[in-house]
Structure 1
Amino acid sequence: MTGDRTADRGVALFDLDGTLVDTNYLHTLTWWQALRRYGHDVPMARIHRAIGMGSDRLLDEVLGEGRRRDEDKALSDAHGTLYATWYDVLQPLDGAAELLRAVAARGWQVVLASSASEEEVAAIRRRLDAEDVIAAATSGGDVDTTKPAPDLVEAALGTVGADPDDALFIGDTVWDVEAAGRAGVRCIALLTGGISRAELEAAGAVLVCQNPRELLRRIDAGPLSRPPSRS
């Protein structure tokens, strides 16, 4: 995906699930339920480790590449239906909307970089209530290959015509950090997805914070204090 540069500004790319909204364990639960419907008894801990991948890669991770691929759509649809029952009660993480506004106030363009369905992204945006500072967003329909491949990060950059050097990615899983790194983008990671600090740092995160509120408190002492300057 390409686009015309909308402004000579840095771009802050935000993952949604587990980063701005407290949904990783809801995804774990609803994937577990969907898998059980089709006779797959997968421990929740194993599913949780794959949250952050797109459905295709998640199923590779939890069922193996030799699985019955003719079930993939049914499994993904079942997960989507089960997860949709939570839309009205999705809970933004403490400080999430304030963080987005603080980042925008410091000159960054805010882009939501998600591989969730358009319906899921819309539901999360309604709960975030920060439309005034969101410049663009992606959904799963924008890419063929999901995290940890770099395609989603590259698509998000393309929505505003930005280069990797212009950007920071904010996520919560090792898949976020790896995808950003493969796209040449630095990544800040949060612990709100249930992944340890050591794992996120080992994957290459340039900063790890407990949650959006802590990142907000530290914003002027870290990578988000100001966008990259252009000479």
Structure 2
Amino acid sequence: MNDLVRPPSPAFVFDLDGTLVDSVYQHVVSWQEALAEAGIKLATWRIHRKIGMSGGLFVRGVQRETGIELSPAEVERLQDAHGRRYAARVPEVQPLPGAPELLRYLTDAGIKWTIATSGRRSGAEPMLAKLGAPADLPMITRDEVARAKPDPDLFLAGAAKLGVDPRDCVVVGDSIWDLLAARRAGSLGVGLLSGGYGQEELERAHAFRVYEEPGDLLTHIDELGVRGAGA
């Protein structure tokens, strides 16, 4: 008999951009401007399809689509340019509807949660105050793992920070890359439409459920096996 004790409710590992904060299009424009600095033209929709990947995989995809070869130094300059452009837009980024309330609900119910983002810590930390999250949240960023999405490293590290088996985690993300990484981590993947991917795309990437935005997820939180205090 299996003596493993399962928690009464799953823990949650959230992506950040497009999942908790409305920042996808700031990233798209920042990448487009960074590419323009390097003399590379790429349509906005093609950039959007890559948001959620690590910066390195993003650039690799750009090179494949454009046929332009970049040296390691040029790749680094491109990523730095994106970071610089995005940093200037951080003040305009706001939480998605219902995100602070969702996180507060989980906290009040005693349910473990954290954030695991393929963004750098410098861009992610300012979002914590906007979300009403504690400054000492055990957040995982790209700086702390060997590989970002679609590899599972971020979500595995998030589960480890919470002291929870990845199989007992719900990973919430807005892109197919989030859901692929969740599946590879052995976690249950839940999709949100707030990053611009369609419901069918997210379901094909094995989302267990797809909700419009964080507030919609909160309304249907019981569908994910969450039991609040006394439930």
Shared fold by TM > 0.5? yes
After superposition, residues 81-120 of structure 1 pair within 5 angstroms as 81-120=84-123
The CA distance in 2 between the partners of 1:73 and 1:199, in whole Å, is 31
Cα distance per residue 1:102-122 (max 9 Å; x no partner):
123333211111121111111
Residue 68 of structure 1: how far off its partner (Å): 1.2
1:25-68 deviations in Å (ceiling 9; x for gaps)? 11000000000100110111000000000100111122229731
Equivalent pairs counted in the alignment come to 219
Q: By how many angstroms is 1:157 displaced?
A: 1.2
Q: Which residue number in structure 1 is paired with residue 3 of structure 2?
A: none
5 Å matches for 1:160-199? 160-199=162-201
- Aligned counterpart for 1:139 among listed residues 138, 141, 146: 141
Deviation at 1:135, TM superposition (A): 4.6
Q: Secondary structure at the match of 1:13?
A: strand
2:40 corresponds in structure 1 to 40
Q: CA RMSD in A?
A: 1.9
Contact 1:10 1:107 in 2 (8 A): no
More divergent stretch after superposition (176-185 vs 108-117): 108-117
Q: 1:47 to 1:218 in 2, by over 3 A?
A: same
TM-score computed with the length of structure 2 as normaliser? 0.89
For the 8 Å contact 2:166–2:187, the answer to whether it is kept is yes
The 3-state SS of whatever aligns with 2:42 is coil
Q: Distance in 1 between matches of 2:132 and 2:227?
A: 24
Aligned pair partner of 2:218 in 209, 216, 219: 216
Q: 1:225 matched to which residue of 2? A: 226
SS in 2 for 1:168: strand
TM-score, reference length from structure 1: 0.89
2:78 to 75, 79, 90: 75
SS at the partner of 1:111? strand
| Structure 2 portions without partners, runs of 5+ | 1-6
Map of 2:4 onto structure 1: none
Q: Provide the secondary structure at the position in 2 that maps to 1:136.
A: coil
Shift of 1:146: 1.0
Equivalent pair of 1:13/1:111 in contact (CA under 8 Å): yes
Displacement of 1:224 in angstroms is 4.8
- For residue 89 of structure 2, what is the amino acid of its counterpart? W
Structure 1: which 5+ residue stretches go unaligned?
1-6
